[in-house]
Amino acid sequence: MSQHLSEQEILRRQKLQQLRDLGINPYPPEEFPVNATAADIKENYERDKINYKDIRIAGRIMSIRDMGKACFAVIQDATGRLQVYVRRDDICPGEDKSLYDTVWKKMLDIGDIIGLQGYVFTTKTGEISLHVTELKLLSKALRPLPIVKTDEEGNSFDEVSDPEFRYRQRYVDLIINPHVRDTFIKRTQIMTSIRQTLNNAGLLEVETPVLQSIPGGATARPFITHHNALNIPLYLRIANELYLKRLIVGGFEGVYEFAKDFRNEGMDRTHNPEFTVLEFYVAYKDYNWMMNFSEKLLEKVVTDLYGTTEVQCGDKTIDFKAPFKRVTMYEAIQEHTGFDVSGMDEAGLREVCHKLGIHVDAHMGKGKLIDEIFGEKCEGHYIQPTFITDYPVEMSPLTKKHRTAEGLVERFELMVNGKEIANAYTELNDPLDQRERFEDQLKLQERGDDEAMFIDHDFLRALEYGMPPTAGIGIGIDRLTMLLTNNAAIQEVLFFPQMRPEVTSSAQSEE
């Protein structure tokens, strides 16, 4: 395999060999114990100077400012960046100056990972720095790292902005773009905060099958695969709802799962084929309880993350202070279109869609038409967190019928910044009603709706043993993270978003 190397790559390989010739292992096996981090030093040095006299840190060289017999460099570790000062006569106290003149100045590059020993001091320009007394190469980098420079006002120069580069080589993106790192740390903090709240509420974190023989719990095109030993088709789950409810039947009174779900559909800035949903179910509760619980949950997540309930999102400020506004779907449509669709039949709804200029298909039923009106004319208006409640029964085959309103179900969606963040129900636990709803889905399928649900007979069997009244919710973790980190693309909150495979040089030569 012939690999085309750039000038800089060839040079770095030569340096690698020269280091070996000098008896220096560019990839030493032994540990390098550290006793400080960049963030720790910058945070605590000023008030605890006595304890920063014998410091060992390790990290990647991010820049070098060479002053002749002394150098300033910037080292980056997991916590941030620290300036280090390397003076020739300090790292080479004797006659032999080769460690500085040859190794440090000629053979080390930006991107190399090094270990340092020294003492912390403040430069005359006021920057807390490490005065290096010993240095050791820990890993030689063979590819040049793109350099992003930032001036005093924080303006970035030559920031790597090509999304293809950033997503395919996320490891590089993470090294050179600190705000990318921050986004992913926040993502984990969001999940940790949710986990703590749910654990404190007595819910049990569980795992349920990713490989399912019936892809239930939602309507979407699944990925299909094949199990050799059983010689059966299996689907990657599109949801875990039906399995979590089986656990409620089994006697757990509160369960949750952060689930990777998979849907074989289009990709864009809000859709990735695999994505993460938090679902949780609590027995003996209803959707009103779930609204109260989930608004407090989100308020806490945001407060844990930012110390306030307000989040900046594009040019909007969103306040997650509970309680959130609650609007029924019919009220929302009335408010934003002027039409009262509450008593309308299918023909009436088609008429309304026509007047509003909404495109509809022949196979759309009553529920789908209402959903279409809401999606086109209402959804985008709800910037501040708002619960939209009481959906038409046709669109919600797993939801209990409304306690008072005919034709509706006890369902809500949480809208934030004009988009759906969560979807919740008073769960349908009447097994005979559930069977009828599944059969209605079959009829929709026959009518041409390719999104209708599959019938899961084992799930029906489970319900026949009796499921307590239960409230359940699904929260899109990727979208929640986008919202709380001010990112407009799902690719920005997934470490490795789905991409078309690269044509590699070895694959090319095989052809």
Chain residues 448-487 in contact with RNA, contact rule CB under 7 A: 451, 476, 478-479
Q: Is the dihedral of CA 195, 198, 202, 203 positive or negative?
A: negative
Of 47-55, 82-90, 224-232, 425-433, the window that binds RNA (rule: CB under 7 A) is: 82-90
Q: Measuring CA to CA, how many Å separate 480 from each of 51, 275, 416, 487?
A: 41, 12, 9, 10
Site residues for RNA, window 100-129 (CB under 7 A)? 106, 109-110, 121, 123-127, 129
Provide the minimum distance between the beta carbon of 115 and RNA in the complex, in angstroms, as a whole number: 20
Closest CA to 462 of 216, 160, 219, 129: 216
Q: Measuring CA to CA, how many Å separate 223 from each of 28, 414, 448?
A: 44, 28, 21
Of 48-56, 146-154, 315-323, 460-468, the window that binds RNA (rule: CB under 7 A) is: 146-154
- Cα–Cα dist 302/311, whole Å: 8
Q: Does 350 bind RNA (CB under 7 A)?
A: no
Q: How does 487-497 read in b/e, with b if 16+ C-beta sit within 10 Å?
A: beebbbbbeeb
Provide the minimum distance between the beta carbon of 12 and RNA in the complex, in angstroms, as a whole number: 8
Q: Does 354 bind RNA (CB under 7 A)?
A: no
At residue 352's C-alpha, the angle toward residues 350 and 358, to 5°, is: 80
Provide the minimum distance between the beta carbon of 432 and RNA in the complex, in angstroms, as a whole number: 25
Nearer to RNA, 129 or 441 (CB): 129
Nearer to RNA, 406 or 502 (CB): 502
Q: Does 150 bind RNA (CB under 7 A)?
A: yes
What is the size of the binding site for RNA (CB under 7 A)?
76
Residues 6+ apart with CB under 8 A from 166: 160, 172, 173, 177, 180
Nearer to RNA, 212 or 219 (CB): 219
Nearer to RNA, 327 or 415 (CB): 415
Provide the minimum distance between the beta carbon of 448 and RNA in the complex, in angstroms, as a whole number: 12
Site residues for RNA, window 371-390 (CB under 7 A)? none
Provide the minimum distance between the beta carbon of 166 and RNA in the complex, in angstroms, as a whole number: 8
Name which position in 159, 253, 304, 433 contacts RNA (CB under 7 A).
159
Tell me the three-class secondary structure of 180-193, residue by residue. Answer: HHHHHHHHHHHHHH
Name which position in 44, 56, 72, 305 contacts RNA (CB under 7 A).
72
Nearer to RNA, 115 or 146 (CB): 146
Provide the minimum distance between the beta carbon of 74 and RNA in the complex, in angstroms, as a whole number: 7
Nearer to RNA, 8 or 188 (CB): 8
Name which position in 42, 52, 58, 83 contacts RNA (CB under 7 A).
83
Closest CA to 314 of 170, 176, 419: 419
Nearer to RNA, 154 or 307 (CB): 154
Closest CA to 143 of 102, 174, 168, 112: 112
Q: Does 85 bind RNA (CB under 7 A)?
A: yes
Name which position in 48, 164, 436, 458 contacts RNA (CB under 7 A).
164
Name which position in 16, 24, 34, 147 contacts RNA (CB under 7 A).
147
Q: What are the E-state strand segments in 78-183?
A: 80-87, 113-122, 128-139, 149-150, 156-157
Nearer to RNA, 283 or 372 (CB): 372
Q: How many secondary structure helices (H) and strands (E) does the chain include? A: 16, 20
Name which position in 162, 310, 446, 464 contacts RNA (CB under 7 A).
162
Provide the minimum distance between the beta carbon of 4 and RNA in the complex, in angstroms, as a whole number: 5
Q: What are the E-state strand segments in 266-418?
A: 274-283, 310-313, 316-319, 325-328, 386-392, 408-416
Per-residue binding string, RNA, 296-335, x by CB under 7 A, is: ----------------------------------------
Q: Residues 10, 136: contact at Cβ < 8 Å?
A: no
Name which position in 275, 293, 339, 382 contacts RNA (CB under 7 A).
275
- Cα–Cα dist 504/500, whole Å: 12
Site residues for RNA, window 401-440 (CB under 7 A)? 420, 423
At residue 171's C-alpha, the angle toward residues 169 and 173, to 5°, is: 75
Question: Could you write out the DSSP letters of every residue in 317-349?
Answer: EEE-PSSPEEEEHHHHHHHHH----TT--HHHH
- Quick one: residue 23, left, alpha or beta (phi over 0 = left, psi -120 to 50 = alpha)? left
Provide the minimum distance between the beta carbon of 243 and RNA in the complex, in angstroms, as a whole number: 18
Please give the backbone phi and psi of residue 359, each rounded to the nearest 5 degrees, phi first: -75, 130
Provide the minimum distance between the beta carbon of 453 and RNA in the complex, in angstroms, as a whole number: 11
Site residues for RNA, window 212-271 (CB under 7 A)? 218-220, 263, 265-266, 268-271
- Cα–Cα dist 161/492, whole Å: 12
Q: Measuring CA to CA, how many Å separate 187 from each of 291, 303, 494?
A: 23, 14, 9
Nearer to RNA, 129 or 337 (CB): 129
